[in-house]
Structure 1
Amino acid sequence: MESSTKEFSVGVESTYDVKDVMLFGVSKNRALDSISSGHPLEAALIKHAQKKEEIDMRMLRTMQGLHAPIRLHMEKLGVKDIGHLPCLHRHNALLDALTGKDTTLDFEDFLNNPQDSEIMGQPHVMIERHLGML
């Protein structure tokens, strides 16, 4: 005779699709995940930022030569993926200094950015999950 109860292990979902909040953190609303952008202006702002960076790199190339935009791009790639503990949120101050975002105050700097929310969890379990040990 089989038991109708399931043993719950770390990281395993139950039959009701409920994840362990202490391990995975509080999940966002699934309805928000289906929305591609929050506002019609958001896509235009992203496109504008990309175009501005492209113009800045072109101007840097004409003023200082080909090495300057290549060096700046390599520095950005170098500081973009610096290792950190998975239980702590990463504020990449080096990348902000290279891109100039450290001198501006944007919408997400003072309003509730979902990336800055606290993640509940046990650090050892989260690190083991990140390393694939769980």
Structure 2
Amino acid sequence: MSFNLPSLKVKPEHVSNIEPQEGPFGVPNPLVAGLAATKNKLGMSHPLEVSERSFHLNQDKMNMAMLRNIQGLHAPLKLTMEMKFTSKIGHLPFLQRSNFQNDVLSGRHLEIGFEDILNTPELREVAGQPHAVVERSLGIL
């Protein structure tokens, strides 16, 4: 509901894309353009990097194929529907989402991974102020 009022957020008149400046060796300077700009130009750091990125996807496909061969078509369809339903469960933005139900359905609750030990930013234990987090998610701040 805008009530035809102007937005409180300041928006630029026109958006222009700033291209990163190339350094002396054809690689953007990370001090000027940031590390994200240099990562796009670099290749894979290790041959197994692509395989590791798609490990869980490949494992899920293999498990679904095996489940279909053993129990029939209904079993992977039911499991896929349950996983889709668990991914759509809503929560307030300031509450951390564990996604434990989806991990149980996929069998990942038995594994200890990188995120369990080094704690990724979305799993941090520090909670923000609820009002500020909700307003930020709604685009008010």
Alignment-derived partner of residue 110 in structure 1: 117
TM-score (norm. length: structure 2)? 0.62
Is the contact between residue 93 and residue 102 of structure 1 (CA under 8 Å) also seen in structure 2?
yes
Whole-angstrom distance in 2 between the partners of 1:119 and 1:12: 29
Whole-angstrom distance in 2 between the partners of 1:43 and 1:12: 41
Shift of 1:130: 2.8
Whole-angstrom distance in 2 between the partners of 1:39 and 1:114: 23
Is the contact between residue 87 and residue 99 of structure 2 (CA under 8 Å) also seen in structure 1?
yes
Is the contact between residue 94 and residue 134 of structure 2 (CA under 8 Å) also seen in structure 1?
yes
Aligned counterparts, 1:1-134, within 5 A: 31-34=34-37, 35=39, 40=46, 41-117=48-124, 121-132=128-139
CA RMSD of aligned residues (A): 3.0
Whole-angstrom distance in 1 between the partners of 2:67 and 2:61: 10
Question: Deviation digits for residues 12-60 of structure 1, max 9, x if unmatched?
Answer: 59xxxxxxxxxxxxxxxx8354436995344311223222211111110
Shift of 1:118: 5.1
TM-score (norm. length: structure 1)? 0.65
Q: Which segment drifts farther, 104-113 or 120-129?
A: 120-129
Shift of 1:127: 1.8
Aligned length: 109
- Amino acid paired to 1:93: F
Is the contact between residue 87 and residue 119 of structure 1 (CA under 8 Å) also seen in structure 2?
no
Shift of 1:119: 5.9
Q: Which segment drifts farther, 115-124 or 97-106?
A: 115-124
Alignment-derived partner of residue 25 in structure 1: none
Structure showing greater relative contact order (alpha-carbon pairs closer than 8 Å, 6 or more residues apart) = 1
Structure of higher CA gyration radius: 2
Shift of 1:114: 2.3
Whole-angstrom distance in 2 between the partners of 1:38 and 1:81: 33
Gap regions ≥5 residues in structure 2:
1-7, 12-32
Is the contact between residue 86 and residue 126 of structure 1 (CA under 8 Å) also seen in structure 2?
yes
